[in-house]
Amino acid sequence: MQRKVILSLSFMLFSLGLSYAQRNTSNDLSPRHRNWVSSSSENTNRGGCVESPYEANDPAYIQTIAFDPFCCEEEWDELCESQYQIFNGSCVAKAPYDLADENYILVLILDDYCCNNEWDEQCELHYDHVVYGCQAISPYGPSDSTWELVVTEDDFCCNVAWDEKCQALYDSYSSNASLESAVQTTFSLFPNPASEYVKLRLSNNTEIMASIQIFDNSGVLVMEVHPKQSELVLNTQEMTAGTYHIVVLTANTVMNQKLVLIK
């Protein structure tokens, strides 16, 4: 995973503390489904598709083959059927997203609880993983600096599965002695959602922000500044609407938060 993230010797731990043992959710996807978001609707051949149980003019069918061209070009399989049912309105759980959001659809497929029961904190954590670009679901997420350190060092923990080695690496970083001496600093974003500007402020005004990096959802660095002060107002007028990840580095800490821009 190509992300330009500078990591200091110590960092903040924001553990979400959610257990995945309560659900037996499988996210074992076939290889052709690992790049839905990047390949989903540009080159779909809507004529001459492989056989399916639905008419070519069925709106849910059209949405399915646009979302996953495999279902048109190769085979109508069980995963295509589950996608069809989602587009056909089978989900009863209300969520703060809609079917125009491909990240939301992917979460519904990865975890049918989020479709058939309720959209809860764990579903929201799944969504954060997908937005960040990770298929592998873990008990942590992008708001956890230790988790980000692990997936940056070992992309298996992001792209394939969060296994015992990933957890051991996480635990190792969490118990590192440098954490005990780290200055417990956080930072605030206001307003969030933002439009024309956003103000960043450290909770500990004796520290300064050595670097501020802003990444889009694909992990591309869109802005980097070196303010060397405890608070700063960033002009976001030229940035497009969407979700971004703000990484703040001080002498003792690496922190990150999610920023939503609306236009």
Q: What is the pLDDT of residue 47?
A: 59
Q: What is the pLDDT of residue 176?
A: 58
Give me the CATH topology for the region 182-261.
Immunoglobulin-like (2.60.40)
Q: What is the pLDDT of residue 39?
A: 40
How many secondary structure helices (H) and strands (E) does the chain include? 11, 7
Rounded Cα distance between 213 and 222, Å, is 8
Q: What is the pLDDT of residue 235?
A: 92
Residue recorded with tokens 């979400």? 16
Return the structure tokens found at 90: 């089978």
Rounded Cα distance between 225 and 85, Å, is 46
Per-domain residue ranges for the chain?
31-131, 182-261
Reported as half-sphere exposure (CB side, CA atoms, 13 A), residue 93 has a value of 21
Q: Which residues in the chain come in under a pLDDT of 50? A: 1-46, 177-183
pTM, rounded to two decimals: 0.50
